[in-house]
Amino acid sequence: MWHVHGTEPRAVRQEYGGGWAHLHTRLGKDVKQILCAWNGNAVTRGYLGVKCAMLNHSCAANAFVSFEDSVGRLVVHALKDIEEGEEICRSYLEGKEMFGIAEEQRKVLEVQRGFKCLCETCVAVDEHASNEPDALHPDDEIRAEMRELMARYTKAVVELSKGWCHVHARAAVVELIQKLGLMSIDYLDWPRKIARWNLALGKKDAAMKWMVKILAIIKLCLGEESQMYRDGQAQIDGEDGNYEPDEGSDEEGDEVGEEMDEEDDKL
């Protein structure tokens, strides 16, 4: 069997799609024996990307690299228009590392990768620090605001009413991430939970808008040929095959923000 960090065989994914929780509910008392066999024979997938290894890092990457199972190779997708002669750069940062202030990101890169980042974003932060040593760079101000939101609402997930607070924070964080121009599947958990909460409360239109936004991020990072994109499209079609996103609307919170102002003031 494959390790959870790898890509499990399609048959296993279809049978137990849902992860460890479903393994437990499906297998009952036998789950301990199965999990011991699973962990004892786990193999984490690895690969050597010779060409992709030549792509340099940028904290404002213009490309995203992913392993596409359907073709068995690394695929590079442009995140924005890349001019002729412009260097193609990816981000070496993953997960929460992407959302730290510039100094923290540099420390991660120095420890894990052995270099000091001198991309345009980091150089701009250095210049700003020289000119205004007591003020954060605008990008770092946004990242600090993101951190405050994350910390403020971390515990607000137990009750449904508090869950709304948590969703409101997630919507605000996603908006800040997009303001920074960061595009990665690493933060899809945020909009996904917003969509789930809206569905749980019967707000299907708001949930569908977030599902469409999620699909747009997947398309940009992984392409329409990826399994994740096809699964996302199938989910949207399953929820409402006739759904048409409102292209004229640019609301990030939709139902979330409108109902949270009063509750937000109580925290």
* Per-residue confidence (pLDDT) for residue 127, from 0 to 100: 93
Which of residues 29, 46, 63 is at a domain's end? Answer: 46
Q: How many domains, the chain?
A: 2
Whether the predicted model's global pTM rises above the 0.85 cut? no
**19 dihedral zone (left: phi>0; alpha: psi -120 to 50; beta):** left
Position 45 scores a pLDDT of 65
Q: For 194-241, write each residue's pLDDT tens digit.
A: 888 888 888 889 899 999 999 999 998 988 888 889 999 998 888 654
Report the mean per-residue pLDDT for the chain. Answer: 75
Query: How far from the centroid of its chain's Cα atoms is residue 132's Cα?
Result: 32
With cut-offs at 50, 70 and 90, classify the pLDDT of residue 265.
very low
Segment 141-154 mean pLDDT = 78
Domain that holds residue 8: 1-46
3-state secondary structure of 188: coil
Q: Is the pLDDT confidence value at 164 over 80?
A: no
3 pLDDT higher than 50: no
Q: Tell whether 24 is covered by a domain.
A: yes
pLDDT band of residue 55 (cuts 50, 70, 90) is very high
Mean pLDDT of all residues in 7-13? 49
